[in-house]
């Protein structure tokens, strides 16, 4: 092995063309998944206060947005729905005529060729804002899984290309996989939110999705930020249960988890750069405290470098315009 002065690591950094040649991680449009929020109504387009550039959209506006997303070369969107009615059991989540089901049908009809992923959880649909059925203040597991299964099948029937359960109940991947198969959807992949932390970074999302829990928190199902061996156990059990793609969420503060889960499972990895990560970069950029564009690209490159094959990000349109 050469040593200094024969060894000079800066040698490959002087010329920008050499830097381009040796770059290991390059972000591409194919890595991007754009999250969208669908609401009832028509011609409705309302910016989310804590997420500049992100809007709640009625289905007609959503279709227009999807046309733009597709024309920018972004391959996929993930949909979150805010229903007309919320109730204790989140029934609109598994209503074949619910907000997501109608949105999926509209996109599939008017924007063919755009991949539509649907988020499967109950928190946007329950009156109490929790991710499942409650007994007192406890979120029931097995009873909730039955409803998530109905939601997943209903999304697939509407035409969803990939089903993404984000609830963190035990056993839901196995239950959803077998229900999809029984209903003729054996070709529809399951993208599991396998490792989802109970995170303060979801704040702005809850404003966008109107899904803040009425009491308590999500710590009885989402993971403790201090744990990483547990992330491996979560990921491995989802692999056994039949997940096709694994997600880690949030992304930037959990790069070690993305790396470890990828190393351990070898499955395709998704990472979700969540609303709070986006909001912080946007806010500091607005204040002139950081260079927003530069930090945006750096944050996404870091997530890919850690092992993510795809990134869910509110920056998708901004990045696609640059690439
Ligand atoms: C809900 C869900 C959440 C996010 C995606 N799906 C929020 C939560 O657990 O409260 C967060 C995404 C973001 O913050 O951008 N099932
Ligand atoms: Zn939820």
Chain centroid, CA 172 distance in Å:
17
176-196: average pLDDT: 98
Instruction: Give the global pTM.
Output: 0.97
Residues sharing a CB contact under 8 Å with residue 226, sequence separation 6 or more, in sequence order: none
The ranges assigned to domains in the chain are 27-322
Å from CA of 200 to ligand 1 middle: 10
Q: How confident is the model at residue 86 (pLDDT cuts 50, 70, 90)?
A: very high
Å from CA of 205 to ligand 2 middle: 11
CA dihedral 141, 274, 78, 54 (to 10 degrees): 130
Distance CA 186, CA 183 (A): 8
Q: How confident is the model at residue 296 (pLDDT cuts 50, 70, 90)?
A: very high
| Ligand 1 pocket test target in 117, 125, 193, 205 with most atoms within 8 Å of CB | 205
CA dihedral 258, 263, 269, 271 (to 10 degrees): 10
pLDDT tens digit sequence for 119-172:
999 999 999 999 999 999 999 999 999 999 999 999 999 999 999 999 999 999
Is residue 1's pLDDT more than 80? no
pLDDT tens digit sequence for 8-35:
999 999 999 999 999 999 999 999 999 9
Q: Which atom of ligand 1 is nearest to the CA of 312?
A: 15
| Burial state string for 283-306 with b = 16 or more CB within 10 A and e = fewer than 16 | eebeeeebebeebbbebbbbbbeb
pLDDT at 175: 98
Q: Name which residue leads in pLDDT, 207 or 42.
A: 42
216-234: average pLDDT: 97
For residue 294, CA distances in Å to 150, 171, 177, 300 come to 43, 41, 40, 10
Is residue 72's pLDDT more than 90? yes
Distance CA 200, CA 20 (A): 37
Q: How confident is the model at residue 104 (pLDDT cuts 50, 70, 90)?
A: very high
Average pLDDT, the chain: 97
Question: Among 148, 244, 237, 152, which Cα is nearest to 195's?
Answer: 237
Q: How confident is the model at residue 314 (pLDDT cuts 50, 70, 90)?
A: very high
Taking phi over 0 as left and psi of -120 to 50 as alpha, with beta for the rest, 162 belongs to: beta
Q: Annotated catalytic residue: which of 70, 150, 196, 262?
A: 196
Question: Among 290, 280, 288, 287, which Cα is nearest to 314's?
Answer: 280
Å from CA of 20 to ligand 2 middle: 42
| 27-322 topology per CATH | TIM Barrel (3.20.20)
pLDDT at 170: 98
């Amino acid at each position: 092995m050469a040593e200094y002065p024969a060894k000079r690591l800066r040698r490959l950094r002087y010329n920008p063309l050499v830097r381009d040649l040796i770059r290991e991680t390059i972000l591409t449009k194919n890595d991007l998944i754009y999250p969208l929020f669908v609401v009832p109504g028509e011609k409705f387009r309302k910016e989310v206060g804590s997420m500049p550039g992100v809007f709640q959209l009625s289905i007609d506006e959503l279709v227009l947005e999807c046309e733009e997303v597709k024309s920018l070369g972004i391959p996929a969107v993930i949909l979150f729905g805010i229903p007309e009615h919320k109730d204790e059991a989140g029934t609109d989540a598994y209503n074949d005529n619910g907000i997501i089901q109608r949105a999926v049908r509209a996109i599939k009809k008017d924007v063919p060729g755009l991949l539509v992923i649907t988020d499967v959880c109950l928190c946007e649909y329950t009156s109490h804002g929790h991710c499942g059925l409650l007994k007192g203040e406890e979120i029931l597991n097995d009873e909730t899984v039955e409803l998530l299964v109905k939601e997943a099948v209903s999304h697939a029937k509407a035409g969803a290309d990939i089903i993404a359960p984000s609830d963190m109940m035990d056993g839901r991947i196995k239950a959803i996989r077998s229900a999809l198969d029984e209903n003729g959807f054996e070709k529809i992949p399951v993208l599991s939110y396998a490792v989802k932390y109970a995170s303060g970074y979801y704040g702005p999302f809850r404003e966008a999705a109107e899904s803040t829990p009425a009491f308590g928190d999500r710590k009885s199902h989402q993971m403790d930020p201090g744990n990483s061996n547990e992330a491996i156990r979560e990921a491995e059990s989802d692999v056994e249960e039949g997940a096709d793609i694994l997600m880690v969420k949030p992304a930037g503060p959990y790069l070690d988890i993305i790396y470890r889960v990828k190393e351990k499972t070898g499955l395709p990895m998704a990472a979700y750069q969540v609303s709070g990560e986006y909001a912080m970069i946007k806010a500091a950029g607005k204040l002139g405290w950081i260079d927003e564009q530069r930090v945006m690209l750096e944050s996404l490159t870091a997530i890919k470098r850690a092992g993510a094959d795809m990134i869910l990000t509110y920056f998708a349109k901004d990045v696609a315009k640059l690439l």
